[in-house]
Structure formats: C-alpha cells, structure tokens
Structure 1
C-alpha cells in the first residue's frame, strides 16, 4: 500500500512523521511557505497515485479536499483523518475495499488514538463482504450489490453463497452454502445476478506472431474472455517465451493492464508439468510444441484453467495460482 501523509501545523507534522515511521509513506506539510504543497494540488496528485491518504488535521478540511475526486468505492483510495493531538483516527473513504478501516485501527495503535469506525457492518459486528474480499485478494465485480448482501445480513436474513474453491473455517453468521441459487459467489466465471468475487490469481499465457500489435492482442483477448466466460479481473500477470520479450505490441498490451510479464526459454517451457496442446508449426518456430499453455502453467505454479485459444495469429491460455480462501482471515 502506498501512503501519503499531509499535515497543516508543526504539531501535526510531528505526528505524521511518527505514523510514517511505522507505516511508511511520503510526508508533506500544507501551507503558504515556499516548497509547501497546496491542499488542492496535493490531494489531486495523491488521490490519483496513492493507495491511502492520511490527513493530520480537521475532518472537514479532508472532506472538502477529496470531494471533487470521489468516484467509486471500487476505485477510490483509502482516506483516514487523525486530529493533530492523536486522539482520534477516522476512516472517511473506502473503509472496506480501500482498507481505510483497517489502516485507521493500525494508525490509532501507533499513537494511542481511538479508531472511529462508522460502517454499519462493523458497528453491528456483521460480516463485511467487501473487506473479506480485499483480504482474499479478490475483485468485487458489482460493487453496487455489496449493499444488498450487507443489508440482508444487517436485517438478520440469510445470505446464500457458492464457491469454486473450498473455503477454510466456518462461514460467518448469516451465510449459508447454496450452489444452486447463490447471492454471493466466489468464482472466475461470473453468471447470474449474485455479488461476484473474483480472485486475482490468473496468469495469461500468450503466444503471437512477430509484429502483432496491441490492438490485435486486445481484440483476441476480449474474444477469449467471452468464449471462456471468465472475468478479466482475475488476471494478475502474463507469460510467454523469451523470443517475444522485445515484442512492442505484447509489452504495450500487458503494460496497459498493469500485468507484469515473465518470459521463459524453450528449454524451461519443455519442463512444464502437464498435458498440453501440441503444434508442429510452433515447434518448428520456437523449439517447443506449445507456448501459451506451458508459459501460463510455469508462471502460475498451478494448473491450466482454460486451454489454448487461437485467433488472428494470437494464442492465449489461462492458468491459476494456488488459492486458499479462509473465512477466518481476521485470525490467520
């Protein structure tokens, strides 16, 4: 998590530096002296580039500063405010998905403050699905449906869930397994009107002709997702053969999505465990009978989920990293 602290007084700056010593991040003081950032400029820059903004000052100042930038609970950074005396730590934005509640608790522990947590699920001791999803490294596909799940739990109703993986521990109060008609689903392939949590565990294996452009790769990828039915949010990284490590189109395609790319030699690919779709042509060009499937498996350290897909000179495959969801995340 990248953090940015902003103080307004010398006393506040001392507290910000104390907090940053425990939970590192950039520290700045807002003011009118040379070299000190303006509130609006600092907020705009950090809101776009940091995972968490910590204001040491008045809540009202923070609220006015962030108001023009707030867009969605799925993308807004965490915002926490501490008074300059270090008495209270208040999560203001993205309490669950952004981790502001947890950050407020941790910062409060550093300076002896009281964390002021106001989210309804926390106040009532009810399971918070969005916070659980974040701790399980899952994307929430339909953030607008979070309130349906939380509202049902707060009202004392049972929420049915389904998962493509076994979940360790006992389900929290109010949740019951029901694969037929779930209201909450942990899956790579979302379907229906449940709230879908997608683990960020996929590795995309890629093969392509020399000179393939990023647009061609993007079009083929969209077709792969549509045919296989998986959510692209599951992908955490990509992989290919080292012959492709200077392919501008491939690099641009992955960079635009924030995916790191790992490249393997033909010899390394031949050592990948499993059964793969062979191609005599690929063997003649690369020295190994399959690139996309083998690269995905090696990079993921886990099994293939979707085998080779071919379109317009591009091949894709998807493998999954090991994944072990746990209801007991607060205790492990």
Structure 2
C-alpha cells in the first residue's frame, strides 16, 4: 500500500515520524513552514506544500492507496467529503490523534484496507484502533474480505454483498459451502480473527447439501458453475468465491 502521512502541526509531525517508520515506502506531507521539523522526523521522504492542506487532497486521493492524517477527525471529514467517489476506488483514510492514542478508520475500511491499516498503526504506536464496522467490532466474518489474502476472487453484485453482509452481522442463519481452496481463510482473515466462527454460520462440503430455504444467505467457495436450480433459489442472496492458484 502506498501511503501518505499528513501532519499540519509540530507535535503532529513528530508523531508522523513514527508512523512513517511503521509504513515502508510512506511519504510525509507537511506545511512548508515546518520543513525543518518534517525533515528531522522523516528524512528523505518529506514533501512540503504551500497554502492550505485542503488543496492537497485531490492529489493525495489520486496518488495514494492510503492516507494517514494526524489531523482532527472533523477536519478530515470536511476535507475529504468533496472528493468521495466509491469504496472500490477511494483510498483508505485513517485519522490518528496527536497524542497517538487512537487510530480511527474514516474511509474505505474494508475493501480499501483502512481497518487493517488502523490495526497495524495501533499495534506499532501502542494505540487503540477504533473500528466501527460491524463485522470488525464484533469480530465476525467480513464477507467482502473472505479469502482476500489467499488470492480468491468474488463474484457478486453490490446488492448481494450488502444483503449477505447484513445477514452475517444480524446473526441470521448463513451457509458456508467450501468445495475448493485453502481452509486457512479464517485464521488468515483480514484484520485478524482468533475466536471461533460465528455460531450462525453452518459449514457444508457441497452446495447440493444446502437447503436454500433454511438460510438467509449462502457463501459458496468453489471452482464450478452453480447448478441451475440452486442459482434460481439463491438469486440475490449468495456470494461466490473463486480460489486462485494451487489448492
């Protein structure tokens, strides 16, 4: 992830040095008037700007996968609001307070990686990651990240992802059918999962073993095409995962 660390005060720039050190390849953006402090905090990776920090946002959105802002949460919301697109293209945005106590994902928590970035920074800085995404707050399954570290691809519409995600976080019965791929998708899950699988998630070895009427949603990990009768019965409430590579 290519990350820009933005700090606008002396104290913030000092903390930014620790943030940059924790993120290989990160760059520090700071006001020109604090160039000396910025170069001391993060030698060789400083980009100083003149004028308002808000004027830098379009370039940061276009040029970076992630933005760590050591700026107040309210100010960051106002700064990025005019530039929001969608969660598939917007960068991950994390706010860290000047005291280094909290790392707060603001934008693109799941798909963009802001939640994972916040957890990493919290671990490095000895801070607390403030995760407000339901699946992360409750340490349950994030359906849009299942198998991501393993190179799996997802076949689902936005509406299907929303519906299935809601079923998971609302503790509705969900069938998880794994016919292919590595079984290490839970312990290797994005943001870390150490507890048991949700009790409302029932596992199956074949899609034909599932009674579609019993479940609010189905997660299907397979390389084959879904049987026609199941495709009809699961329309709108299933996500298909395609494992890649060796399995």
TM-score (norm: length of structure 2): 0.71
Of residues 101, 118, 135, the one that matches 1:104 is 118
Partner residue, 1:3: 3
Q: Residues 159 and 183 of structure 1 are in contact (CA less than 8 Å); yes or no, is this contact kept in structure 2?
A: yes
Of residues 134, 155, 166, the one that matches 1:120 is 134
Deviation, 1:75, is: 2.6
Partner residue, 1:176: 203
CA deviation digits over 1:152-194, x for unaligned, max 9? 1222222123345144159732142251457223356776442
Are residues 1:152 and 2:167 paired?
A: yes
Q: Which moved more, 1:35-44 or 1:69-78?
A: 35-44
- RMSD over aligned CA atoms reads 2.8
TM-score (norm: length of structure 1): 0.54
Deviation, 1:125, is: 2.5
C-alpha distance in structure 1 between counterparts of 2:116 and 2:140, whole Å: 15
Partner residue, 2:220: 185
Structure 1 alignment gaps of length 5 or more: 202-320, 325-332
Cα pair distance change 1:112/1:12, threshold 3 Å: same
C-alpha distance in structure 1 between counterparts of 2:31 and 2:242, whole Å: 39
Are residues 1:19 and 2:54 paired?
A: no
Cα pair distance change 1:189/1:71, threshold 3 Å: farther
Deviation, 1:47, is: 1.4
Partner residue, 2:41: none
CA deviation digits over 1:106-140, x for unaligned, max 9? 11122221111111112223211223343233344
C-alpha distance in structure 1 between counterparts of 2:78 and 2:222, whole Å: 38
Q: Residues 150 and 185 of structure 2 are in contact (CA less than 8 Å); yes or no, is this contact kept in structure 1?
A: no
Partner residue, 2:29: 28
Are residues 1:51 and 2:65 paired?
A: yes
Of residues 85, 100, 103, the one that matches 1:89 is 103
Structure of greater relative contact order (alpha carbons < 8 Å, 6+ residues apart): 2
Deviation, 1:53, is: 0.8
Cα pair distance change 1:124/1:164, threshold 3 Å: same
How many aligned residue pairs are there? 203
Are residues 1:197 and 2:241 paired?
A: yes
The higher radius of gyration belongs to 1
Q: Residues 147 and 185 of structure 2 are in contact (CA less than 8 Å); yes or no, is this contact kept in structure 1?
A: no
